[in-house]
């Protein structure tokens, strides 16, 4: 795909991008149709050939997304350089370029938090922005997880939130544990959910149950444990859990092999 910006700059030793000078402004005309299979970018739009194959259209979209994501890094690095070298004049350059200073500040902040050697080409600028406020060691840890598990930005944000919630829960290892018989298929499902979020299974179970209990008690205006809940302790779980589909529940008469799971009470 033809682009004015030239070749996209890669991270970790990728090719260097050379931004060419813009061509002289031409008189406004109807414009020539792009050649077959060629997509042309202009100042005010995108020109695509007639009868373009789906694979070509899809590839063009990926390239456009790469340019959009890379431009966040480019603008951030551009502002960082200006602030470091033209302290008294860089704001004039921003005004001359017609860019939003607040937006550039956000880009520059993320760019400063990740030098070029630590940026992951397989992850988006927004992945890095989610981690910019963390210490370097935590940034690298979450970048590794997001890269290995191919998380979206939303999945990364959810995993971070779940981990922080579990860390805020008070841990009482000296208290006695109660055992709850859980079907093996459901236990595997829960393990998969915790693994997907990148957190310890017991922490995920505790945080999920604590959240559900707090919500239920708050709705009922009660803080003490209801009698019905006390009577269920030690029984086999036969009804759906909040957040799980009903098809995973087992009727009372159906026998299934279970495994005990220690859950802190």
- The angle, 0 to 180 degrees and rounded to 10, between the axes of the packed helices 201-220 and 184-197 is 100
Q: What tokens appear for 151 in the block?
A: 């998380």
Q: Are residues 114 and 180 in the same domain?
A: no
Q: Is residue 223 part of a domain?
A: yes
pLDDT recorded at residue 152: 94
CA count, 13 A, side-chain hemisphere, 107: 21
Q: Is residue 5 part of a domain?
A: no
**pLDDT value of residue 219:** 59
Domain's final residue, options 83, 106, 121: 121
What are the backbone angles phi and psi of residue 187, rounded to the nearest 5°? -65, -40
Largest CA distance in the chain: 83
Residue where a domain terminates, one of 94, 121, 148: 121
Query: Of 103, 121, 139, which marks where a domain is finished?
Result: 121
Say whether both 255 and 191 belong to one domain: yes
Helix (H) or strand (E) segment spanning residue 260: strand 258-264
> Is 258 within a domain?
yes
> What pLDDT sits at residue 236?
44
Strands (E) located in 21-116: 40-42, 45-47
Three-class DSSP category at 49: coil
pTM of the model: 0.51
Residue 73: alpha-carbon gap to chain centroid: 17
101 within a domain of the structure (yes/no): yes
Look up the domain containing 247 and give its range: 176-264
- Token pair 């031409």: residue: 26
User: In the chain, which stretches have pLDDT less than 70?
Assistant: 1-37, 170-180, 182, 184, 218-265
Q: Kindly calculate the radius of gyration of the chain based on its CA atoms and give it in whole angstroms.
A: 27
Q: Which residue has the tokens 């939003």?
A: 100
- Do 114 and 191 sit in the same domain of this protein? no
Number of H helices, E strands in the chain: 9, 4
* Alpha-carbon span 159 to 49, nearest angstrom: 42
Number of domains in the chain: 2
**Alpha-helix runs per DSSP H in the chain:** 54-85, 90-97, 101-113, 125-131, 136-149, 153-168, 184-197, 201-220, 227-232
Establish if 19 belongs to a structural domain: no
Residues 115, 187: one domain?
Answer: no
- Same domain for 114 and 181? no
143: in domain? no
Q: Say if 39 falls within a structural domain.
A: no
Integer Cα distance of 253 and 255 in angstroms: 6
User: Could you tell me if 180 and 260 lie in one domain?
Assistant: yes
Domain contains 248: yes
Q: Is 260 left (phi over 0), alpha (psi -120 to 50) or beta?
A: beta
Q: Please give the Cα distance from 187 to 184 (Å, whole number).
A: 5
């Amino acid at each position: 795909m033809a682009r004015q910006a030239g070749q996209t700059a890669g991270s970790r030793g990728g090719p260097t991008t050379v931004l060419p000078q813009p061509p002289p402004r031409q008189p406004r005309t109807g414009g020539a149709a792009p050649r077959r299979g060629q997509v042309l970018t202009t100042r005010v739009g995108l020109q695509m050939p007639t009868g373009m194959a789906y694979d070509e259209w899809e590839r063009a979209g990926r390239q456009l997304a790469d340019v959009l994501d890379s431009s966040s890094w480019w603008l951030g690095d551009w502002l960082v350089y200006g602030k470091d070298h033209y302290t008294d004049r860089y704001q004039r350059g921003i005004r001359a370029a017609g860019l939003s200073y607040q937006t550039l500040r956000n880009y520059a902040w993320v760019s400063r938090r990740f030098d070029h050697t630590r940026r992951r080409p397989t992850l988006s600028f927004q992945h890095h922005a989610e981690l910019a406020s963390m210490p370097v060691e935590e940034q690298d840890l979450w970048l590794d997880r997001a890269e290995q598990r191919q998380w979206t930005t939303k999945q990364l944000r959810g995993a971070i939130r779940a981990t922080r919630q579990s860390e805020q829960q008070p841990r009482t290892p000296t208290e006695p544990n109660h055992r709850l018989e859980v079907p093996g298929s459901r236990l595997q499902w829960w393990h998969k959910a915790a693994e997907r979020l990148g957190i310890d299974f017991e922490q995920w179970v505790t945080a999920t149950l604590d959240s559900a209990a707090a919500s239920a008690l708050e709705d009922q205006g009660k803080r003490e444990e209801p009698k019905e809940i006390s009577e269920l302790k030690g029984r086999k779980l036969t009804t759906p859990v909040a957040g799980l589909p009903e098809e995973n529940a087992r009727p009372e008469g159906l026998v299934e092999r279970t495994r005990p799971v220690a859950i802190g009470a």
